[in-house]
Chain A
Amino acid sequence: MRRVNARGRFALWLLGACALVLLLAIWSFSVGRFPVSAAEVWRALWAALTGSESGLAANAQAVVTNVRAPRVAAALSVGAALAAAGASYQNLFKNPLVSPDILGVAAGCALGAGLAILLSLPIGAIHAFAFVGGLAAVGLVIAIGTWVGGRDPLLTLILTGVVVGSLFGAGIALVKFVADPYNQLPAIVFWLLGSFTGALPRDLAIALPLMALGVATLWLLRWRIDVLALSEDEARSLGVDVKRLRVAVIVAATLVTASAVSLAGTIGWVGLVIPHAARLVAGASFPRVLSLSIVLGAGFMLAVDTLCRVAFATEIPPGVATAFVGTPVFLALLALTFRRSA
């Protein structure tokens, strides 16, 4: 395929994707049990930002700023964060089938959250436990992987991740088994399914900066991460400090994923599918893949969550919906990628 003036065309795609996400956000703000028009959404948000009077009915203002705004912000940021982490991990591991929880971060978060629910801790503590659990799982994987070493440290890391993930999975099973089946067990199960309903402004205030910090780190390092797609010898001979860069990427991606999972539960597929979709347009260049993944991930997550909210009589968990949407999309992308390259 020829890429005539590839740079300009990509900029257009990125701009288009941003515009699409903006439209999605307006749509998401306005639909639901209590419909609000786009103009009213705009006025309500403007009023909330500037502290002025919107002139709207108090309940409309409350729906926009107190109910929907945190949820929209959570969906956008979690989608962007997971997609950014997924794209980075795929480059780091030189493997397009890698997702953000390859090193066991999701299992760690789940075990942390499960324990907190088992101990009947308040919601804030559940998020904190989940976050710490995720970091602990990845920390354990890195410690074991470094200790084992071996010829192919990345392979060692992935295998260790699988094993530690399973170990934490067994921990979750045990927590479920001993949990009170009437209150705690359903709470754990619902948490594992993922949800944006629990995204309180207070938790957002903690999770958002952490996600922003991680994504900003990845974005700043994007030209170096690009080179990680080559073999280790090549990357090192080009002057990249591969070991330190790997640690930086893993720490940033773990921070991002652990924050996202502790905010919204385990939401799969976004981190795997979105970078693939981005590559269809962006090619292999990581800086482009990352920028587009962030935008597409945010839009995808928001679209799925909004559909979950309005399409059915009862809300379905977005973690389930992303799998239902993500799997056919992923298969389509696979077919598209491989048929094109054939």
Chain B
Amino acid sequence: MSGKRSFGRFLRENAVILLFLVITVLAIKPSGLSLVYIGQEMITRLGRDSFLVLALLLPIYAGMGLNFGMTLGAMAGQFGLILAINYNILGVNGLIFAALVSLPVSLLMGYVCGAVLNKAKGREMVTGYILAFFVNGIYQFVVLYMMGSVIPVRSRAIVLSRGYGIRNTLNLDSVRLSLDNLLAMHIGPFTFPIATFLVIAALCVFIVWFKKTKLGQDMRAVGYDMHVAEASGVPVDRTRIIAIIISTVLATIGQIIFMQNMGNMATYNAHDQTSFFAVAAILVGGASVKKATIPNVFIGVILLHVLFVVSPGAGQKLFGEAMIGEYFRQFIGYGVIALSLVLYAWRTRRETERLREGLRGGNMAAAAAAEGEAK
């Protein structure tokens, strides 16, 4: 293969990430922000978001696409946090308490989500997305009507004045930055939340290890070809449900980490964009619907968030309107997801078409080429 062709292929395969890199670099200057500021924001956001984005990996391995149903886990995490605030459990203990309380909820949510997605094979993503809306209704019901009336929540500070239901915004002062500040390290102008990074590293180790287990291998087999996996005795449905359950539980913990960094929580909206940001990040990092790696996660979080940090300033400078930057970053987020889904679907279709052509015997060379590319 000539150098020119492989360069073209490199461009095609990394179109999303390269496009993003260009836009981001171009936007840094007009934003007027210093590199130190951007660097610190990057470190903070790596700690805040990476765990959530890592939660997307297992369902991708299992061939279920991007798990938009991760929002279910995020809601479970918020449920736990509300209770932790209610009992006024301070610091890291509060976070652990929240995680433990939400664990059963999260397991149940994961099971439900997995079971529903098993009934919607081939359209997992759109179903997961709508499922998140659906469960959002139930979450609102529980938090707005059950808490304080059925579920014992007594803290006057968080319950609405009418006696039940949780206030719109929740002050998380009692757990705020507790994990980040547990082992904060100052190097030069930067502050590193070492404890948070350690938790994230532990998760990465877990994922690497998990891929090597029997279950992990089964998952990849299911992701590669469901029918072949079924025929060779892998319990497909069960494996898929396990992938979603793990992803949901990870999303729960991820949301708790996210929230302790933010320091306050919009009770009814905080989870709205969880899956949007996470999915956009992993795609920006170069992942596709079928293939994702741990580096994709970190590259994606950094790139996406640098753009998010600089875009309001850039919008103000270039168009004289900060709102344009705000709309622009949402446009970019949605656009990136659309673009990478399109590129992926397009590529798969072209490949299957070429393979099919080869099967017809009409064009053996094309089939050979397609096979070569598939490898």
A-B complex is real: no
